[in-house]
Amino acid sequence: MAYSDRKKNRRDQVRGRKPSKEKQIEVELPREAINVAVAELKKGNSIIYPTDTIYGLGCDATNFDAIEKLYDIKGRDKSMPLIVLVDSFQMLESIIEDVPDMAWEVLKVNKKPLTIIYDRPKNVAENVIAEDGTLAVRVTNDPLCRSIIKKLRKPIVSTSANLNKHKTPVHFADIGEELLKRVDHVMDIPLVHKNIKPSSIMKISSNGIIKIIRE
């Protein structure tokens, strides 16, 4: 079997499946709230929303000006990279030039929120890409996040909903008043997941080398 065929087989074992082997959590999605959030994102605005980990501050990951504004809202140094959420493996492929074989192997067995840093991103705003030319992407399994991304038809930024160097918000009440005033739209909706903490992060280079950034 040719190398390209083997690679396609590995990819196809993952593509078309749900992003996690974990049983999907059945929730009634707040459709109107999702529609409003997507409308704000389309305007280039920022939102606070519940993610598959903690409360996030986000915007359209393809909108340069929206990302600039998000950095200013958070007070974050623009040299510090951001995480991007996608709703599917197909969307992952649309923003990464060549997803490494090793990444497909990890995605195939992964069960918990995992952000992977990839080489050679594409089709996203320049200022969401790290200085070394990489992009941190998580395929979210959260039904609300996936609904927002699917309706927007674009990846979204996900950074913790706190001002730079302030406490990470594991509950909505943890989000500071100053940030709530700065952001354009707030989704005051409970987190679905019980084990609330930031995702694990690993870097998988194009040559297959893996580096654990955060466990």
Query: Going residue by residue through the chain (215 aa), what tens digit of pLDDT does each one get?
Result: 454 555 555 555 565 455 444 444 455 788 999 999 999 999 999 999 999 989 999 999 999 999 999 999 999 999 999 999 999 999 999 999 999 999 999 999 988 899 999 999 999 999 999 999 999 999 999 999 999 999 999 999 999 999 988 888 888 899 999 999 999 999 988 776 655 677 899 999 998 899 999 87
Q: What's the pLDDT at 22?
A: 47
Q: What's the pLDDT at 26?
A: 54
3-state class (DSSP) for residue 76: coil
Q: Could you give the C-alpha distances from 109 to 46, 127, 138, 205, in angstroms and in order?
A: 33, 31, 14, 19
Sign, Cα dihedral of 190, 137, 112, 11: positive
Q: What's the pLDDT at 5?
A: 55
Q: What's the pLDDT at 11?
A: 58
Q: What's the pLDDT at 57?
A: 96
Give the helix/strand (H/E) hosting 210. Answer: strand 210-214
pTM, to two decimals: 0.86
